[in-house]
Amino acid sequence: MSLKVTFPDGQIKEFAQAQTALEIAKSISSKLAKKALAAKIGVAGEEKIVDLALPLEGDLQLQILTFDDEEGKKVFWHSSAHIMAQAIKRLFPDTQFGIGPAIKEGFYYDVDSSHVFVPEDMEAIQQEMLKIAKENLPFQRQELPRAEALSFFTERGEGYKQILINDLPEDAVISTYTQGDFTDLCRGPHLPTTGLIKAAAVLSFAGAYWRGDAKNKMLQRIYAITFPDKKELDAYLFRIEEAKKRDHRKLGAELGLFTFVDEGPGFPIFLPNGIVLRNQLEAYWRELHTKAGYVEIRTPVILNRSLWERSGHWDHYKENMYFTQIDGEDYAIKPMNCPGGILAYKHNMHSYRELPMRVGEIGLVHRHELSGALHGLMRVRAFWQDDAHIFMLPEQIKQEIIGVINLIDTVYKQFGFSYYVELSTMPEDHAGDEAVWEEATQALREAMQSINMPYQLNEGDGAFYGPKLDFHLTDSIGRTWQCGTIQLDFVMPERFDMTYIGEDNQKHRPVMIHRTCFGSIERFIGILTEHYAGAFPLWLSPVQARILTITEHQNDYAQSVAEQLRGAGLRVETDLRNEKIGYKIREARNLKTPYILVIGAKEAEAGALAVRKRGSEESTVMPVADFIAQAEAEAKDRGQIF
């Protein structure tokens, strides 16, 4: 049968007979064929990922997947999980296997073994995996009737595979993949051969209940990662080590930013240095929003149950909320600011001439997170959200979305972040009619297209009241974080009977945007701490300069200099201890101080300072007034020189 292939760039290629995806890749270029891992095909609007060896026929769309594609990485890492299982089976023959999926970075396999895995086993498993890779074993797919597959794994004592097969329908056709002496239950797809894996690292061991149920047996979970090039593995391991050094929980304690206590798990306590940092962030936020035409409000933390029922949070978000009773009535602690913002809008009647209204709120919200999900400032139970709600005419939607995108872009560029955008569409658990959802989703698409901003589609992950654009920023070591969001909402204005008086003197329904830039201020501080490794730019640094004296004879002069710097609005600390100057400098450097100002007898006599910038071993002697002018200009500019 003939084959007609449409490629992602729109080009079409026809073949007189069926071809495998690998053969098609070879017909395009030998380089592509060498990098090919799997194929994504589309037929009649439905897409699926298949093995390169699968014969293709008919009329279809085709994309050859490589390690540069997310789907390609998943195939690579899931195939690697099979290789790791094979290596473990060779080394520890009595091992049984649960599941071994690809994850965001790498993969894991849950195993049941009499051997208790310890760090010393990592090297042996890695070496056996690389040995299997060098054997260049083909991944061979086989399809079996359910009964035959069950018999196959029963004979091999694979109890967990039997459970998985028994969960499938009686008439199910079961697929297995074999490489060399190892066969695993799997629907695929997989790499053509094991030889594409060139580098491997076993990362860690953990415990995991079978199927995540504490009533089941505890298995051993082995995490690992592989790459098609050793340089990529080296870069990944470097990034992991960097991430450990940058851990915001460790730096937060060392720099006096915040702490957590047993009396309030998930409820951070901000210390003086942390308050300085967040005050600087909030001042920057207010300055930007004032320029962009926003006004600011503050709404109550606790509001009556009836409000949350009307908003839909009671039905769609109740399990994440905290509750209390006041005067015999049910109240909820707000998990989101939007219902309070709506009440503020409804306080007055509004004219179309007032719209759009851009209303900001840095509001405290509480959300019930499971204790196991808590993680420093990245996942907490109480946080301040830099919210804003825009109330507008339907014809203002595109203009306002573009305005918010530009504002978020300004914020992220200020901190040196790049980012990508995801469009999240209607979830199963949603409020409002599907037609309204489609209208809102299309409005977001059109706004993005009008400014030529690319986006990724995230089906079914919108808020329960509307589709959204999520901004995923990339930090200095390549990790991504979801922070900003723009949610377009036709549902809440209807539920709360929000109106404005139009040109025709009649009441009309406004449209609403929910949006954040930082997201959670707590989380953003955690991200910034790791992004900068605690070495914040001057304008954000809780302590901008430390004055160190060589002997106690310079203490009076040091105090007078500190007063001058504070008078100029700079944040300064003095170290007048009777310690060696080298020790003082090392300590100031460990505290990530932007400027270390050393005063000895010569500096005191000349009315000067020996100024050392963070990251430099050299110091420059300058008059106090010159340093103040330099530091003031740098802080005002919010520069990123470090």
Beta bridge partners of 46: 43
Please identify every residue annotated as catalytic: 338, 367, 385, 387, 389, 468, 514
Per-residue confidence (pLDDT) for residue 640, from 0 to 100: 55
The whole-angstrom separation of Cα 385 and Cα 405 is: 18
Per-residue confidence (pLDDT) for residue 443, from 0 to 100: 87
Q: Classify strands 511-520 and 480-489 as parallel, antiparallel or unpaired.
A: antiparallel
Low-confidence ranges of the chain (pLDDT < 50): 641-642
Per-residue confidence (pLDDT) for residue 44, from 0 to 100: 78
The whole-angstrom separation of Cα 127 and Cα 122 is: 9
Tens digit of each residue's pLDDT (9 = 90 or more) over 479-513: 889 999 999 888 899 999 999 999 999 999 999 99
Per-residue confidence (pLDDT) for residue 172, from 0 to 100: 87
Amino acid at the residue 31? K
Per-residue confidence (pLDDT) for residue 459, from 0 to 100: 85
Return the closest-CA partner of residue 84 out of 124, 45, 120.
124
The whole-angstrom separation of Cα 435 and Cα 440 is: 9
pTM: 0.81
Region label for 467, one of left (φ > 0), alpha (ψ between -120 and 50) or beta (otherwise): beta
Among positive and negative, which fits the CA dihedral 456, 462, 465, 471? negative
Tell me: cis bond preceding 356? Omega within 30 of 0 counts.
yes
The whole-angstrom separation of Cα 273 and Cα 277 is: 6
Write the DSSP symbol of residue 196. Answer: G
Per-residue confidence (pLDDT) for residue 439, from 0 to 100: 85
Per-residue confidence (pLDDT) for residue 384, from 0 to 100: 97
* Helix ranges (DSSP H) in 293-396: 305-311, 313-316, 338-346
By three-state DSSP, how is residue 360 classified?
Answer: strand
The whole-angstrom separation of Cα 476 and Cα 238 is: 13
